[in-house]
Structure 1
Amino acid sequence: MNNTAVLQPPRAETFGPRPFARWDANPSVRLGQLGAEPPMDDLVNQLHQTVHGFADRVMRPIGRDLDRLSAEQVIATGSQLWSFRDAYASLGINMEALASFPPELMPDIFAILFEELGWGDAGLAISAGVDLMPHYMAAKFGNEFVFKAYPEELIGCWGITEPDHGSDSLDANGAIFHAQGKYGRPNCVAKITDGKVIISGQKSAWVSNGPIAELAILYCAAETKDGVDPRRGAVVIVPLKSLGVSKGKPLEKMGQRALPQGEIFFDNVELDIDHLLVAPEDYKKGVYAIHSEANALMGGVFTGCARAAYEHAYAYAHERKQGGVPIIRHQDVAKRLFHMARKVELSRAITRRVTTFNMTNDMPALQAAMFSKVTATQHALEVASDAVQMFGGNGVTCEYPVEKLFRDARSSLIEDGCNEILAIKGGTLMIDPDRLTPTA
């Protein structure tokens, strides 16, 4: 008797929404708002529709108007930046709300939330994202003091890069340093003494929300009884109304002009030791943790930015006529749109996949978060560039939205670690020491 199981073909009706025989004679499927998205949980779908409507009605017009202002005007009293912040707060997206969602839904919620915010306006999306950082990371590190001492309504920021230390600030274990390289003098140092943390120095002009922030999660070198060691730094929660804190002017920049960025200075700022979130012995873990979260967030935001550029180009290709037909009828335009859509899908897929892995694994994979950030930001620049090209001369004018999207996307290749450094750092994280041949 032959015991080999025979694989029977599944019944036709198990495939797709309709049996093959009832397909249209000329089959064609229109993808949804999020592309080739499988059915979502009702709760996730409700959040998606709410945030999408907010991004469309609130973020896009405000982001467009803020883009045309000076950096000082953006943060001034009466600026629409504050209207955005009030409207976003009314959505109730805070740590308490996020903690109420079923854990299995969190990867989808995180990825869709930041994609929709990025679709609305990348600069405002990042402002909203870094707002969460002090309390979000305090929760990750199991610190209850921050929640008891400081309300979530405070505007948050993340201070890590310094005037003399950019992406290398994210390389706490020195994995990518040249053998003859030296970190040099830290620009900001936290002196840790019995019961106190005393901070001196400055953070660079690239602190997102820096000019308006009220609470910072600060990453800096630490001074202990053994001296100053930037590789054994400290993570400190700093209320920015503390005595000795001051701020520089908001930064004028090419893209993401709705996102206030600027220097923060610390002149012997003294805090109780309760504000120390991560001690020097755990500093590498602290950098690893926040960088994993930040790079995943960037993946979501710039998937949304790329999608916005693609959608504008797609609509324009149906409206604009050349040679007597809509330009989408021209083969090169159709081909270009295909590759733009493909890149958006790839960015979305890798961001969702990485977010799911990192939220369900015992420890997040930083190199995977870097996959998401590098892929989504590079694709956002390429898609936005193609959109500008498709709009032709109109694409480089301020009357059309794609030139702003191109500028916003260009900045992203440097934010949260420039992509070249992330690729090198990510490569070192992929080394398997068990496969290396011992050197003589």
Structure 2
Amino acid sequence: MGGVTEPEHGSDYILAFRDEDVESFGMGNVIIEHDGDEWVINGQKSAWVSAAPVCTHMGLHAQLRDGKSLRDGAFVIVPLNLKGVRKGEPVDMLGNRECPQGPVFFDNVRVPDDYVIAQPPFYELFSDQLLNLTSVNMGAFSVGLARAAFEEALKYARSRIQGGKPLIEHKNIKLKIYEMFERVEAARYYVRKAMDFVYTKFFVDQSFTTPPRYARAAQVYAKKIAFEVAHDALQIFGAYGLSGEFIIEKLFRDARALLIEDGTVEALSLDAADDIARNYGL
């Protein structure tokens, strides 16, 4: 589980690494400092950390005590059974409830030196490339959600009799089903291409210079498609789609949550736009 968001920091973590005025973003809420052959961690991660109440380990992003901005951080593996770690209660969220979210508190938590994976100046590059990996994975997750919503709508449209015949036989519904299929397949293809590109660069070529625009765009596009398809699917279900009796209600909530989770689509888009403006074609 990754520990990024904090009470005072969310998607601005994404933008901070390329912003010239990064010091205006403020400092992190979780502080780490070197003490002999150990590191000491203090502070709090926000209530939106996915799987925090149930995970055993955290890939923690923490601010160096003597750092000047969010770029001066460290990525550290923290077992969550260490002395000084306290997990908060799961928060009642709108979507993705199967992956409980909650805060994590650190009170003089000590970890060995070799638990710290990245420090400045490598931390900035590491975090950027790590977001490439999480972005394409979130894209794949979003495509899966979109496909589930499409298939639920298709199954319902085949079985639901309205106006004397199955919904699927009404031309407006048939056209809507096709449009949903088209979106799912387009998103699936793009995410696969982006994932192949990112994984090849990172794991095969062992490159840390993969441009972020492709992975960010894959995540943003797939998230938008998931929400659009889930929205249309719920509309096909009508009032039944608003009921917890049908899974489409859950899929719609999850799709809405995706537009914020793992980086808002706005922040991800701005990050990709900045990369395009600075580096595309050069």
- TM-score relative to the length of structure 1: 0.60
- Closer/same/farther in 2, CA of residues 386 and 435 from structure 1, 3 Å limit: closer
Gapped regions of structure 1 (runs ≥ 5): 1-156
- TM-score relative to the length of structure 2: 0.92
CA contact (8 A) 1:222 1:280 kept: no
The residue that corresponds to 2:269 in the other structure is: 423
- Residue 348 (1) aligns with residue 192 (2): no
CA distance in 1, matches of 2:224, 2:149: 13
Residue 180 of structure 1: how far off its partner (Å): 9.5
- Closer/same/farther in 2, CA of residues 289 and 402 from structure 1, 3 Å limit: same
Count of equivalent residues: 276
CA contact (8 A) 1:172 1:284 kept: no
- Residue 337 (1) aligns with residue 183 (2): no
Match of 1:183 among 25, 48, 53: 25
The residue that corresponds to 1:46 in the other structure is: none
CA contact (8 A) 2:6 2:29 kept: yes
CA contact (8 A) 2:56 2:81 kept: yes
Residue 171 of structure 1: how far off its partner (Å): 3.0
CA distance in 2, matches of 1:365, 1:348: 21
Larger RCO of the pair (alpha carbons < 8 Å, separation 6+): 2
CA distance in 2, matches of 1:228, 1:195: 23
Residue 383 of structure 1: how far off its partner (Å): 0.6
Match of 1:256 among 96, 99, 103: 96
Residue 289 of structure 1: how far off its partner (Å): 2.1
- Closer/same/farther in 2, CA of residues 342 and 166 from structure 1, 3 Å limit: same
The residue that corresponds to 1:378 in the other structure is: 224
The residue that corresponds to 2:253 in the other structure is: 407
Matches within 5 A, 1:271-310: 271-310=111-150
CA contact (8 A) 1:172 1:287 kept: no
The residue that corresponds to 2:11 in the other structure is: 167
Q: Which runs of 4+ in 1 moved over 6 A?
A: none
The residue that corresponds to 1:209 in the other structure is: 51
Residue 365 of structure 1: how far off its partner (Å): 3.3
Query: Which one has the bigger strand percentage?
Result: 2
Q: CA RMSD in A?
A: 1.9
Identity of counterpart residues, as a percentage?
38
- Closer/same/farther in 2, CA of residues 180 and 203 from structure 1, 3 Å limit: closer
CA contact (8 A) 2:153 2:237 kept: yes
Residue 265 of structure 1: how far off its partner (Å): 0.6
Gapped regions of structure 2 (runs ≥ 5): none
Q: Tell which structure's C-alpha radius of gyration is larger.
A: 1
Match of 2:242 among 370, 388, 396: 396
- Residue 366 (1) aligns with residue 208 (2): no
Matched residue type, 1:221: Q
CA distance in 1, matches of 2:82, 2:121: 26
